[in-house]
Structure 1
Amino acid sequence: MTVPKRGYHHGNLRQALVDAALGLIEAKGPTGFTLSEAAREAGVTPAAVYRHFEGREDLIIECALQGHAIFADLMEHAFASQPSSLAAFEATGRAYLAFARRYPGHYMAMFESGLSRNETPDLARAAARSHAVLEKAAAALSERLPADRRPPPAMFSAHIWAMSHGVVELFSRGDPGANAPFPPEDLLEAGIGIYLRGLGLLEADG
């Protein structure tokens, strides 16, 4: 895959470098590019990068920060725009897949770069905001269960997060349908349905 030249425009070198890095991450992976390549894509010298970023990891952190902001906005909109706790919960799963498909460079910087979400205080706060939406959705849905049968919202949301991430990694990469005969959205919806039925939050089919 050839990375398109993004170039340095309008005096915003910092964002030009982020945009260049996102393209390189999408094409080569979070650890598959150098700062020199990012500088070249942005149309500046490698020395200019260090006026804004201490190194490649710092640049990837900024990509992840921006990704978490977009991700949280999408998740919050998905949660707030639904008429019921069940619909809101299912919508957050679809928003996860939609984000991964629309913003692959951000997604890879956030979840596939090897960075800890606690790498910096800013990154920890950004990651917590996006995760909190799914946890809030899980808590709202759990209220339909007796108190002694409710799973901890953090565990509930972590299970769905892991399921969503697995669908992205295994079935949303490359050409649609290349790894499975079913659309990723259908796989995730079915998996969530089985999980919720196991908790007693959905009635069994038939």
Structure 2
Amino acid sequence: MAKRGYHHGDLRRALLDAALKLIEEKGPSGFTLSEAAKQAGVTPAAVYRHFEGREDLIAEAALQGFEIFSDLMDYAFESGQPSALASFEATGRAYLAFAKKYPGHYIAMFESGISINRSPELAHAASRANTVLERAAAVLSEHIPPDRRPPAAMFSAHIWAMSHGVVELYARGAAGRRSPFPPEELLEAGIGIYLRGLGLVPPDG
């Protein structure tokens, strides 16, 4: 039986919250719209007043996730100032923190198969998150002469991939994949080795 008293925005939010829980428990393809409706306490017909189908609902979860993720990355970058290295490392830690705190959003964003170009809003939100890391990379490399400076987009993409790998292998509690080190330390060490290899930070004394 449908719950009474839902306002338009409340029902949409309830359906999204239900989907996020189901995504975390069953994966993005492991639930139906009817299950999301039941979880939210509404009739299946109510879902279609807000979402065209399951992919539309997952895309909304991804959009919300990228918006939260971008805010966290931006905050992490600013919190590390005035040190460019501290800001860059903070964005890596923010990636891990986001994946742990918002697993449903993380899966919708990166593991659902939903294209970030599904809507202009989703593309913009995803681009904003990437821009924060590229900005951190650009600031970090300012001391290197332009002719020897690696493209910020290149090494920010490498750090993004490294962060994603640490999350997938060690930070999400996958069975049989336990690192001898905390994921945060593993990522920080990897970032340090990578940046020293590019000449972006001096070697340890």
* Same-fold status (TM-score > 0.5): yes
- Superposed counterparts of 1:26-65, under 5 Å: 26-65=24-63
**1:111 Cα deviation from its structure 2 partner:** 0.6
* 1:192 alignment partner in structure 2: 191
* 1:21 alignment partner in structure 2: 19
User: 1:40, 1:46 within 8 Å by CA — same for their partners in 2?
Assistant: yes
- Per-residue CA deviations over 1:116-147 (Å, capped at 9, x if unaligned) read 11111111001001110001000110112121
> Any unmatched runs of 5+ in structure 2?
none
> Any unmatched runs of 5+ in structure 1?
1-6
User: 1:71, 1:99 within 8 Å by CA — same for their partners in 2?
Assistant: yes
User: 1:96, 1:164 within 8 Å by CA — same for their partners in 2?
Assistant: yes
Distance 1:169-1:8 versus aligned 2 partners, 3 A rule: farther
* 1:109 alignment partner in structure 2: 108
Q: Distance in 1 between matches of 2:78 and 2:180?
A: 32
Distance 1:105-1:155 versus aligned 2 partners, 3 A rule: same
Distance 1:9-1:30 versus aligned 2 partners, 3 A rule: farther
Amino acid at match of 1:94: R
* 2:90 alignment partner in structure 1: 91
User: 1:8, 1:42 within 8 Å by CA — same for their partners in 2?
Assistant: no
Supply the RMSD in Å over aligned alpha carbons: 1.7
**1:203 Cα deviation from its structure 2 partner:** 2.3
* 1:4 alignment partner in structure 2: none
* 1:139 alignment partner in structure 2: 138
User: 1:171, 1:177 within 8 Å by CA — same for their partners in 2?
Assistant: no
Q: Distance in 2 between matches of 1:129 and 1:54?
A: 26
Amino acid at match of 1:73: D
* 2:158 alignment partner in structure 1: 159
1:30 match: secondary structure: coil
Q: When the two structures are aligned, how many residues end up with a matched partner?
A: 200
User: Which residue among 73, 76, 90 is the counterpart of 1:75?
Assistant: 73
Q: Distance in 1 between matches of 2:6 and 2:143?
A: 52
* 2:117 alignment partner in structure 1: 118
Distance 1:70-1:176 versus aligned 2 partners, 3 A rule: farther
- Per-residue CA deviations over 1:30-69 (Å, capped at 9, x if unaligned) read 1111101100000011111000000000000100111111
**1:175 Cα deviation from its structure 2 partner:** 7.3
User: 1:117, 1:124 within 8 Å by CA — same for their partners in 2?
Assistant: yes
* 1:127 alignment partner in structure 2: 126
Q: Distance in 1 between matches of 2:186 and 2:5?
A: 42
1:180 match: secondary structure: coil
User: 2:69, 2:129 within 8 Å by CA — same for their partners in 1?
Assistant: yes
- Normalised by the length of structure 1, the TM-score is 0.92
**1:9 Cα deviation from its structure 2 partner:** 7.2
Identity of aligned residues (%): 73
Q: Distance in 1 between matches of 2:180 and 2:101?
A: 21
